[in-house]
Amino acid sequence: MQYHTLNREELVGALHTADTGLDLSEAGQRLEHYGPNEIERKKRKNYLKEYFVQFTHFFAVLLELAAVLSFLADLYSPGEGYDVLGYAIFGAVVVNATFAFWQEYKADRTVDALLKLIPSLVKVRRGGEIAKVDARLLVPGDILIVEEGDRIGADAVILEANSLYVNIATLTGESRPVRRFPGADRSETILDAKNVLFAGTTVESGNGVAAVFGTGRNTEFGKIASLAKEVKKRLTPMQTEIIRITRILTVAALLVGGVFFLLGFFSGQGFLIAAIFALSLIVANVPEGMLPTITLSLSLASQNMARRNALIKNLDSVQTLGSATVICTDKTGTITRNEMTLKEIYLAGGETISITGEGYDQDGEFVFAGERSGADERLHFFLLAGMLNCRATIEENGVFGDPTELSIIAAARKGRIENNGYAKLQEFPFTSERKMMSTSYEKGGETFIFSKGALEVLLPLSDYFVDDAGRVMPFDESNRARLVARAEDLERKAYRVLAVAYGRGEEERGFIMLGLVAIMDLPRSEVFDAIATCRRAGIRVLMLTGDNPLTAEAIARTIGLQVDLVLTGDETRRMPDEKLEDLLKHQNVLFARMRSEQKLRIASLLQRNGEVVAMTGDGVNDAPALRKADIGISMGTKGTEVAKEAADMILLDDNFASIVAAIEEGRTVYFNIKKFVTYILSSNIPEIVPYILQFFLRIPLPLSVIQILSIDLGSDLLPGLALGSEAPEEDIMDRPPVGKNERILDWEVFKRGYFFLGAIEGAAAMVAFLGFLFLSGWQYGDLSVTGTTLHRQAMTMTLLGAVSCQLFNVWTLRSWDHSSFQRGAFTNRLLIIAIAIEILWVYALLNVQAVQVIFNTAHVPAQYLWILLPFPILLFLSHELYKYLRRPKMVKSEF
C-alpha cells in the first residue's frame, strides 16, 4: 500500500490505529505478527572459517613445519621419540589455535553484548500515554514522536510537524537536511514523498508526530541494508602494535634458528638433526600465548570500564584512553547533574521572587524579596508564559523532556498555573544554535507568541517590557542595562539564566520582556575528585559549553577547574588558527556560548599541538567532532542516536567522573600488557640457553621441545592472563599520560624480559641441570646418559628451574614500577588460582606417571630441590631493587 498518498483519516484507518496510539495488548499482538523491528545489519561471521584461519597464521605454520620435520625424523631414526614430539607440537598448534579463536569469539561476543546495552529508545504514544520503548518493539500503527537528534526507528507517515528537518543521507546520499510536512503526497516513489520519515535517518531539527507503517526488513533502510556488503575492517593501532611485536619476535626467532641451523649443518650434524635443532630454538622463542592474552586483557578492561559506566565500542579505544592528554567536556549533565531547579524569578518590573523546593517537586513557596503589591498578577502571567512555551511534560509515570523546561513547569505547578483557553498554533523549536524557542497560541481570536532563551538573544528582539505597575513600556537603555546587570549577578552565582518574553502575532520579534528565571544545576558530587585526579594525571580539562560565560566560569571554579581565559564562540570564530592553537597550547581556556560546529575546530587544533583528545558531545551537530577526536564520547541518556553512533565510547550515566575512570582503566591495561609481555619473554631465555650451551659444550640435551611447549602453553598462560587483569596501581593517575608513540614492546620490556629476569632464569635452569648431574656423579662430557632416568631427572630440574623462577617473577611483575609488597596478597583472584594450578602442575611433573611420560620428566628426590631455591629469591629481590633504583628517574607529572 502507498501509505504516503493517504490523508490523515485514511492513514489512521488503514493502519487500524488512532491518534492516541495503539493500546498495549494490540501492540503486543502486532509485535508477534510482524516480528521485532530489527535488521540483521552485519553478515554473520563464518566461525568455522575463522577457526581454520588460526592454523594459517605464521606461528602456526612454523609449528606445523616443526611437527612435519619431527615425523620425518621419526622415519629417519625411529624409536627416539620424534613421533611423540610431532604429535605434541601439532597438539600445541591445535590448543593455541583453539584458544586464539575462542578469545576472538569471546571478544566479539563481549562487544556485541555491550553494544546491545546501549539504549536505543524511541518515544511512542500508546494507550493515550507517552512512553519510551525499545526501538525493536515498534510495530505498524504505532504513533511515533520525534525530535531533534533522534534516529528514526521505523518508516512512518507524518501526522504533525514543527519545522521538521531530517537528514536522509543514509538512504539517498543527500547530505543537506530536507524539510518534512504532514499531508498526502502524490509522489510516485516513496523516497520522494515529503511526508515520510525513514528508519535509519535522523531528525536534524524540529519535531513531529508520525504513524509507523513499516518496521524491520520492510523499511526502505532494511531493503538496502540486506543488500549491503559488510564494510571491510581497518586494522586498529592496537592490532598493528600486536603485529609489530610478533614480527619482531618472529624475526629474532628465525635469526637465532637460522644461525644454529647453519652451525649444526656445517659441523656435520646432518640436515634433519640440524633442522630439528633450529626449529626447537624457534619454538622456544616464539611466544605462542601472547596474542590471545593481549586480546583477552583488552576485553577484560572493556568489561571493567562497562562496570564503571563507560561502554567502549571498539576495543582499541581502551588503549587510546590511556594516552588522553586533554578532555574537552560539555557542562550540562556531564559536569552538572542536569537536575534543574528554578530558584529565582526576576520580574522585568524589578521584583525578585525566590522559590523554595528542590527538583521537579511540586511543593514550594514563592517568597518575595521586597514589596509584593501588584506583582502577583505579573508573576502569574510570567509563569503561564513559561509553561505554555515548553515541550517537556511532567506526568504521573515520569518526566519527559529538557530539564531546563521541566524546572519551569515545576515552578508553574507550584504556582497552580493552568492553561485557561490557549490553543497551540505553532512551535519555533529550540536549537543550541538559536538559544531560544517560541510557541504561538490563539485565545479569544487573538494570537500570542511566548518566547524564552538566552538574554542576549531575546534582548535585541524585545522592544517593550512590563514595568512595576504592569504597564507595557518601551524598553529603554536603562531598563535593559538593569536586566543585564541582574542577569550577570545571577550568572556569577552559577545560575543558568533565561529570559522570558511574549508578543502579539506570530513573529519572533517585537517582544515584550517579562523577566528572568534563575535556574540552579548543581555540579555532580563525584566531579570534584575527578577534576583533581585529572590535574594529578597530567590531563587538561577544557570546558566547552553552550551556556553563558559567567555561569560556566562560576561552575568551573566551584569544581576546581583551572581557568586561565574565557572565550565565547564569537570571539573564537574571529581568532585565526595560529593564535587559537597557541592559546590552546599554553592556557586552560573555557569556551562558552559555543556552537557545536566549533568543537571540530578545537579538536583539530589540539591535535595539531600533539594532544590526544577526548571529546564529549550529545547533539547531532557534535558528530563530526566526536569522529575527529581521538576518543569521541557520547552520553548514554542525554545523547542523540547520531552522537552515539559517531562516538567510540558511551557514558551510561553521562557522568564526567566515568571518563576519568575509563582513562584509569586504559592506563592500567597498557601497563598490564607490558607486564605480561615481559613475563612471557623472561621464560624464553631458559628455553634457549640450554640449546646454545648444548651446541658448545659436551652435555646431554637439557630441555626437550615438548618441555618448552609445556612452559609456553602450560605454565605461562594463566599467570600471564592474571597479570593482564591486575588492578590499577595506586599512582596510575599520578603520572603523565602514556605517550602517543610509546610502544608496549619497548627497550625496557626487552631489557627486563630477556637480559635481566630472563638471564637469571637461564642461569637457574642451567645450574639446576648441571648441579643435579654433578651431584649425582656425572662426569663432564659423558653423553651416554642421554635417554636414561638420570637425564630425565636432570631435564626435570631445568624445567623446574624455569618454572620456579616464573612463579616468583609473576609476583614481582605485579607492579611495573613499585614494590609488589604494596599489592595486596589476595587482590588478584586469578593470580592465586594460576599459582595454585602451577604448583599442582609441578607436583604432577614430579610424581604423576602419565604426565611424566608425555613431558619426559621424572621424579627428583627432595634433597636435590634446594638447588632451585636461590634463583627465584634472587630474581624477586633484584627486580624489586631494580624498580626501587629506577623510581626516582620516572618522570613526574608536570601539572
Active-site residue numbers?
A: 330
Nearer to ligand ATP, 330 or 716 (CB): 330
Q: How far is the CB of 331 from ligand ATP (least distance, A)?
A: 3
Q: How far is the CB of 520 from ligand ATP (least distance, A)?
A: 13
Nearer to ligand ATP, 275 or 625 (CB): 625
Angle CA 593–601–552, to nearest 5: 25
Q: How far is the CB of 467 from ligand ATP (least distance, A)?
A: 24
Of 171-179, 418-426, 427-435, 624-632, the segment contacting ligand ATP by CB under 6 A is: 427-435
Contact pick of 430, 670, 754, 841 for ligand ATP (by CB under 6 A): 430
CA dihedral 121→126→130→131, nearest 10 degrees, is: -30
DSSP calls for 130-181: EEEEEGGG--TT-EEEEETTPBP-SEEEEEEEEEEEEE-HHHH---S-EE--
Residue 155 is a binding residue for ligand ATP (CB under 6 A):
no
Dig out the grid coordinates for 507 from the structure: 513573529
Select from 175, 209, 320 the least CA-distant residue to 620. Answer: 175
Taking the C-alpha atoms of residue 357 and residue 341, their distance in angstroms, rounded to an integer, is 8
Helices (H) and strands (E) in the chain, counts: 32, 27
Residues constituting the chain: 895
Residue 547 is a binding residue for ligand ATP (CB under 6 A):
yes
DSSP calls for 702-738: SS-HHHHHIIIIIITHHHHHHHHTPPPPTTTTSSPPP
Residue 521 is a binding residue for ligand ATP (CB under 6 A):
no
Nearer to ligand ATP, 238 or 328 (CB): 328
Of 157-165, 539-547, 714-722, 853-861, the segment contacting ligand ATP by CB under 6 A is: 539-547
Of 256-264, 434-442, 524-532, 854-862, the segment contacting ligand ATP by CB under 6 A is: 434-442
Q: Which residues contact 319 (CB under 8 A, 6 or more apart)?
A: 237, 238, 298, 666, 669, 670
Q: How far is the CB of 577 from ligand ATP (least distance, A)?
A: 23
Catalogue the E-assigned strands of 618-727. Answer: 631-635, 649-651
Taking the C-alpha atoms of residue 545 and residue 536, their distance in angstroms, rounded to an integer, is 24
In one-letter notation, the amino acid at residue 623 is A
Q: What is the CA radius of gyration of the chain?
A: 35
Nearer to ligand ATP, 435 or 883 (CB): 435
> Sign (positive/negative) of CA torsion 690, 695, 697, 701?
positive
CA atoms within 13 A on the CB side of 241: 20
Q: Which residue has the cell 518566547?
A: 451
Please check whether residue 177 is in contact with residue 204, taking contact to mean a CB–CB distance below 8 angstroms.
yes
Contact pick of 402, 508, 665, 716 for ligand ATP (by CB under 6 A): 402
Query: What is the size of the binding site for ligand ATP (CB under 6 A)?
Result: 19
Contact pick of 4, 125, 180, 331 for ligand ATP (by CB under 6 A): 331
CA dihedral 665→671→675→678, nearest 10 degrees, is: 140
C-alpha dist (Å) from residue 296 to 103, 302, 315, 318, 680: 6, 10, 10, 12, 15
Q: How far is the CB of 36 from ligand ATP (least distance, A)?
A: 34
Of 96-104, 259-267, 544-552, 796-804, the segment contacting ligand ATP by CB under 6 A is: 544-552
Binders of ligand ATP among residues 436 to 475 (CB under 6 A) are: 436-437, 452-454
Residue 332 is a binding residue for ligand ATP (CB under 6 A):
yes
Taking the C-alpha atoms of residue 861 and residue 867, their distance in angstroms, rounded to an integer, is 12
Q: How far is the CB of 337 from ligand ATP (least distance, A)?
A: 12
219 burial (CB, 10 Å; 0-12 / 13-18 / 19+) is buried
Write phi, then psi, for 159 (nearest 5 degrees). Answer: -100, -40
Binders of ligand ATP among residues 589 to 608 (CB under 6 A) are: none
Q: How far is the CB of 481 from ligand ATP (least distance, A)?
A: 19
Q: How far is the CB of 729 from ligand ATP (least distance, A)?
A: 33
Q: How far is the CB of 540 from ligand ATP (least distance, A)?
A: 17
Of 71-79, 410-418, 428-436, 849-857, the segment contacting ligand ATP by CB under 6 A is: 428-436
Select from 759, 848, 850, 746 the least CA-distant residue to 802. Answer: 759
Number of Cβ within a 10 Å radius of residue 873: 12
Q: Which residues contact 29 (CB under 8 A, 6 or more apart)?
A: none
Nearer to ligand ATP, 404 or 707 (CB): 404
What crossing angle do the helices spanning 549-558 and 477-492 adopt, rounded to 10°? 20
Contact pick of 538, 546, 758, 872 for ligand ATP (by CB under 6 A): 546
Contact pick of 285, 548, 704, 707 for ligand ATP (by CB under 6 A): 548
Nearer to ligand ATP, 404 or 715 (CB): 404
Q: How far is the CB of 432 from ligand ATP (least distance, A)?
A: 3
SS3 labels along 836-850? HHHHHHHHHHHHCHH
Nearer to ligand ATP, 330 or 761 (CB): 330
Nearer to ligand ATP, 86 or 549 (CB): 549
Nearer to ligand ATP, 310 or 590 (CB): 590
In one-letter notation, the amino acid at residue 123 is K
Question: What character string, x for contact with ligand ATP (CB under 6 A) and - otherwise, covers 485-504?
Answer: -------------x------
Q: How far is the CB of 166 from ligand ATP (least distance, A)?
A: 21
Nearer to ligand ATP, 430 or 772 (CB): 430
Residue 337 is a binding residue for ligand ATP (CB under 6 A):
no
Contact pick of 202, 319, 407, 545 for ligand ATP (by CB under 6 A): 545
What do you get for the CA distance between the two ends of the chain, in Å? 66
Please check whether residue 683 is in contact with residue 802, taking contact to mean a CB–CB distance below 8 angstroms.
yes
What residues are paired with 503 via a beta bridge?
449
Of 432-440, 684-692, 732-740, 886-894, the segment contacting ligand ATP by CB under 6 A is: 432-440
Q: Which residue has the cell 605454520?
A: 61
Nearer to ligand ATP, 454 or 831 (CB): 454
Dig out the grid coordinates for 847 from the structure: 610424581
Dig out the grid coordinates for 422 from the structure: 490557549
Contact pick of 104, 220, 330, 665 for ligand ATP (by CB under 6 A): 330
Nearer to ligand ATP, 306 or 409 (CB): 409
Taking the C-alpha atoms of residue 22 and residue 139, their distance in angstroms, rounded to an integer, is 9
Residue 524 is a binding residue for ligand ATP (CB under 6 A):
no
Contact pick of 170, 432, 533, 607 for ligand ATP (by CB under 6 A): 432
Residue nearest to ligand ATP (CB): 546
Of 145-153, 275-283, 324-332, 781-789, the segment contacting ligand ATP by CB under 6 A is: 324-332
Nearer to ligand ATP, 498 or 537 (CB): 498
Dig out the grid coordinates for 520 from the structure: 540552579
Of 287-295, 433-441, 577-585, 693-701, the segment contacting ligand ATP by CB under 6 A is: 433-441
Taking the C-alpha atoms of residue 705 and residue 714, their distance in angstroms, rounded to an integer, is 13
Of 62-70, 543-551, 647-655, 759-767, the segment contacting ligand ATP by CB under 6 A is: 543-551
3-state secondary structure of 362: coil
Residue 405 is a binding residue for ligand ATP (CB under 6 A):
yes
The contact set with ligand ATP (CB under 6 A) reads 330-332, 402, 404-405, 430, 432, 435-437, 452-454, 498, 545-548
